[in-house]
Amino acid sequence: MLTLRGLTKKYGAKTAVDDLSLEVVPGRITGFLGPNGAGKSTTMRMIMGLDRPTRGTALVGGKPYAELTHPLRVVGALLDARAAHPRRTAHAHLLAMARSNGIPARRVPEVLDAVGLGEVAGSRAGSFSLGMAQRLGIAAALLGDPEVLLLDEPVNGLDPDGVLWVRSFLRSLAAEGRTVFLSSHLMSEMELTADRLVVIGRGRLLADGPVADVVAAGTRRTVRVRGPEHGGIALLADRLTAQGAEVTRPAPDELSVSGVPLERVGDLAHEARVHLYELRAVQASLEEAYMRLTSQSVEYAQRRTDETAGV
Amino acid sequence: MAATAPAPARPAGRSRTAGLRGAVAAEWTKLVSLRSTWYLLLGAAVLTGVIASAAGVLTHDPGASPAGPAVVAELNGTGLVVAALAMLAVTGEYATGSATTAFLCVPDRVRLLAAKSLTLGAVTFAAGLLCGVVGLVCGLVTLEESTFDTATVCGQVLGVGVHAALLSVLTVGLAAVVRRSAGTVTALFGLLFLLPMALDVLPGAETAVDLLPAGASEALLLDGNGSYGWQAGLALMALWALASLTVAARVLRRRDV
C-alpha cells in the first residue's frame, strides 16, 4: 500500500509535482501514466526517500521509506536500469544489497534465476545489455520479497520478448496480492498491463481510477449508426439533434452520435422507421483519453500562466 | 482498534544498530567485490616500499628507528593512496549511478555515512598497518645503521595505521559533500597542501598552520611538530575527521540524492 498526501516538489520556481494525493492498493497493477517530464520519476524518487518533498508525505505501508529499518523487505524498486556498479558482478551487486537489509544470501541466486540471469551471475553488470540490466534491476527489486513493487519505465528499451516477460511477470506478482506501481509514458503498454490508472500531467493529478473509468472520463461515448437509406439517415440525424444530441455525418450513410445513450438512438430509429444496418457504441481507446486528458492539462497550465502574467 | 494495532516496534536503539550492522556488511561486500580496491592496496604497498627504501638509503643516523622510513612514506604518499580508496568508495558510486542503490538499501543518510566511515576506517587502518610493516622491512634492509627500540617501532607502525584510517575517514566526509573524484582530490590537496602554504605567508598564522590536518599528521607521525606532541596530533586528526563527517551528514540529510 502506497499513500501520497499532498506531495509537492518544487525546484526553484518550477513545480515538478503539484499537490499529488493518491492511494495505490494491493493486488492490482496500478499504472502511473504521463508524458515525459510530467513528474513521474520525481514522484517515485520522493516515495523512495531519494528526493525530499517540498510539502506533503509519501508513505509505504504507513511509514515514510526513510524510517524503514529494512526497506528492501517492504518495497522493491526499479528506478534506473543502470543502478549497479558496472565493475561489480551481478551476484556481488545483489549480495551487497541483501546484506544491507539482513536478507539471506541464498535469495541472490533465487532472484537471479527468477529473472533468467542465473547463467551470468558472475559477469560484471557493465557488460550487460539494457535488457539484461533491466532484469537485474527487477531481480534487485524482488530481493527482499517485498509487498510493494515500484517500477519506473520497466519495459523501456526491452525487445518484444522482454516486454512480454515483464508484463506476465508483473501480472503474477499482482496476483500474489502485491502492490505493483508501474510508470510509463506508453499508454498502449498500460492498456495491456494495468488494472488501475493514475494519470498526471505537469505534476498534477488528472485521473485516478480503473482503466475503463479513466477512458470513459477522458472521452465522450459515441454511437455509430449506419443504414442504406440516405434520406432516413438524414431524418434520424434531425430527430437526434432535436433531442439534444451532437451529430456528425462522416459519410452519407453514416452518423456519429454523442450525448444520448445507444438505446435512445435505437428507439428513435424505430419510431422514425429508419432502416439500419449498424448501431453500436464506439469504444474509445485509452490513447484518445490520454491525449485528451494531457492536452487539457497543457491548456490549463497555459491559461494559468497567462492569468498570472495579466495580474 | 486494539486488534489491528501493529506489533510493538523494537526499541529504536536496537533497530538502528541492526540496520548499521547490515549497512557495514554491505559496504564491506561492495569494497572487496571491486578489483580496483585490491589494485589500490597493492599500489599503496609498492609505493611504501619505494619511498621507505629511498628514505632508508638516504638516512645516515645510528639512532634512526627502522620504522622511520615507513613514517616518511605515510606522510609522502602512502596516506594519500589509501585515502583514494576511501574517496572512490563514495565518488565511484555517484559516478556510476550506484549511489541510488546505496541510498535505497540504507535510506537513513547518517547510517549510510556511518557504515562507510566504519568500514573504510577499519580497512584503511589494516592497510596502514600492513604498509607500516612493509616500510619497516624496507627500513631494516636499507638503513646502514639503526637502533631497534620495540616500543618506538610499534608506536610508529601503529601511528601509520591510525593516520591512514583518520585521513581516510576525513576523505569519506569530503567525498560525500563533493561527490566527484576530481573535485574531492582538489579539495583534499587544498586542505593538505595549499592552505598551509597560503597561511604560511601570512604573519602570525603559524599556529593556525600547525592546527591544520598536515600539521596534525606531522605531530601524530613524527612524535610532535614543534608545537605539540603526538597525543595532540592524534586528537586533532580525529577532530578533523569528525568535523568532515559532521558537515557531510548535514549536507546528505538536506540534499536530494
* pLDDT tens figures, A153-204: 888 878 888 888 888 989 999 999 999 999 987 777 888 889 999 999 888 9
Q: Give B124's pLDDT tier (boundaries 50, 70, 90).
A: very high
B103 with A49: Cβ contact below 8 A: yes
CA distance B256 to B236: 31
CA distance A60 to A44: 11
Nearest CA to B119 out of B94, B85, B92 is that of: B85
CA distance B92 to B12: 32
Which residue on chain A is closest to B24 by alpha carbon? Answer: A100
B36 with A87: Cβ contact below 8 A: yes
| Extended beta strands in chain A, E state | 2-11, 14-24, 29-33, 55-60, 75-78, 148-152, 179-184, 196-201, 204-210, 222-226, 246-251, 254-258, 278-282
The helix/strand count (H/E) of chain A reads as: 10, 13
CA distance B219 to B217: 5
Which of B33, B96, B107 lies nearest to residue A49, judging by beta carbons?
A: B107
| AA letter at A175 | A
pLDDT: which is higher, B9 or A271: A271
- The pLDDT, as a whole number, for residue B11 is 44
Q: Which residues of chain A have pLDDT under 50?
A: 299, 302-311
Which residue on chain A is closest to B29 by alpha carbon? Answer: A96
CA distance A77 to A183: 11
Report which DSSP code applies to A183: E
Q: How far apart are the CA of A189 and the nearest CA of chain B, in angstroms?
A: 26
Q: How far apart are the CA of B98 and the nearest CA of chain A, in angstroms?
A: 5
A82 with B26: Cβ contact below 8 A: no
CA distance A12 to B98: 27
* Averaged pLDDT for residues B179-199: 95
User: Which of A67, A100, A134 would you mutate first to test chain B, the one with the most B CBs within 10 A?
Assistant: A100
Q: How far apart are the CA of B232 and the nearest CA of chain A, in angstroms?
A: 36
β-pair type (A204-210, A196-201): antiparallel
pTM: 0.84
| AA letter at A167 | R
Q: Give B4's pLDDT tier (boundaries 50, 70, 90).
A: very low
- The pLDDT, as a whole number, for residue A137 is 94
A87 with B93: Cβ contact below 8 A: no
- The pLDDT, as a whole number, for residue A108 is 97
Q: Which residues of B touch A140 (CB under 8 A)?
A: 101
A85 with B92: Cβ contact below 8 A: yes
Q: How far apart are the CA of B236 and the nearest CA of chain A, in angstroms?
A: 32
pLDDT: which is higher, A220 or B120: B120
B18 with A102: Cβ contact below 8 A: yes
Q: Above 60 in pLDDT, residue B137?
A: yes
Which residue on chain B is closest to A90 by alpha carbon? Answer: B33
- Chain A residue set in contact with B, beta carbons under 8 Å: 45, 48-52, 65-66, 68-72, 77, 79-80, 82-89, 92-93, 95-97, 99-102, 140
Q: How far apart are the CA of A56 and the nearest CA of chain B, in angstroms?
A: 16
If phi > 0 it is left, if psi is from -120 to 50 it is alpha, else beta; for residue A156 that is: beta
A100 with B106: Cβ contact below 8 A: yes
Q: Above 60 in pLDDT, residue B10?
A: no
B104 with A80: Cβ contact below 8 A: no
CA distance B56 to B67: 9
| AA letter at A134 | Q
User: Counting one residue from A and one from B, how many pairs have CB atoms under 8 Å apart?
Assistant: 93
A70 with B19: Cβ contact below 8 A: yes
Q: Above 60 in pLDDT, residue B85?
A: yes
Q: How far apart are the CA of A101 and the nearest CA of chain B, in angstroms?
A: 6
- Residues in CB range of A132: below 8 A, 6 or more apart: A117, A120
